[in-house]
Amino acid sequence: MPLNRKLLLIILDGLPWRNWRPLMGNLEGWVQSGDAQSWRMRSVLPSLSACCYASIHTGVPPQRHGVLGNAIRHRVSKPDIFSEVTRVGGKTGAVTHSFWSEFFRRHPFNLVEDIEIDEPDGPITHGRFHTMSGYNLRNQMTPSDRDLFATLTMLTRRHAIDYGLLHTCTLDSMGHRFGHDCHEMDEAVGTMDETLAAFLPDWLEAGYEVIVTADHGQTQRGHHGGHDEEMQDFGLYYFGKGKVQPATRCSISFSSPQPS
């Protein structure tokens, strides 16, 4: 049965704190108008993508859930957001990299069988996954973000999901290729902000609370994984009725908000 509150979590992979407020004009505009709240957040360690994905959805650090690197993947045994929502009768959706399917559904990922799933009894009720197979610095293999946002919107309309996750690697891939102090990155973040802005009002009108955030940051050279503010810090924007005090622990990133 539907839950009392519905949430969409949008994860923009690898977008460091220093790029959120200067370049995300739409998100900042909603903060200024009072329609959103924002915080500076800090990732777990190691600040690698797979480790952060598993921590975001379990609430425990990599040293406890066991995902200690991008190549160390398995079905996570800790309770997670997908399983907890479905346990109380809710429906979940995921439009993400295939790593999320491996961590919270089954491992290893079967390209044909797992690319699109609709499983009423599964922890991920409706999943649309992509692999980025063949990724390198010259060919990023990232799907169009407009297509990803449209797919999530389709899941909200067609299946009335209670919790939905969207994860895109576009900005992480751009950072690895170009670094962050460059025209290419300025344009990429601005395009993401504009693309997101085209869909966010529709989600809010449909009754969803929305969180827009990242999993980790990146250095100017496009690196992350270690213990450093540039590699760990990122922004979080919340559209909803709840109020979070700056000094409290924020459960979505499992890290205390940092002073901005």
Tokens of 29: 């505009």
212, 12 contact by CB (below 8 A): yes
Q: State percent of the chain over pLDDT 90.
A: 89
Q: What is the DSSP letter of 250?
A: B
Distance separating alpha carbons of residues 185 and 176, to the nearest angstrom: 10
Q: 25: exposed, middle or buried (C-beta count within 10 Å: 0-12, 13-18, 19+)?
A: middle
Average pLDDT over every residue of 39-54: 98
Q: Does domain 6-239 have CATH number 3.40.720.10?
A: yes
Q: What is the DSSP letter of 142?
A: P
Is it the case that residue 1 has pLDDT exceeding 70? no
Q: 182: exposed, middle or buried (C-beta count within 10 Å: 0-12, 13-18, 19+)?
A: middle
Is it the case that residue 154 has pLDDT exceeding 70? yes
Q: Backbone phi, then psi, for 54, in 5-degree steps?
A: -65, -35
Distance separating alpha carbons of residues 50 and 142, to the nearest angstrom: 17
* Every domain of the chain and the residues it spans: 6-239
Is it the case that residue 54 has pLDDT exceeding 60? yes
Q: How confident is the model at residue 12 (pLDDT cuts 50, 70, 90)?
A: very high
141, 135 contact by CB (below 8 A): yes
Coil, helix or strand for 237? strand
Q: What is the DSSP letter of 115?
A: S
Non-local CB neighbours of 52 within 8 Å, separated by 6+ positions: 43, 44, 215, 216
pLDDT at position 3, please? 79
Indicate the pTM of the whole model. 0.93
C-alpha count within 13 angstroms, C-beta hemisphere, residue 199: 22
Q: What is the DSSP letter of 92?
A: E
HEC per residue, 59-74: CCCHHHHCCCCCCCCC
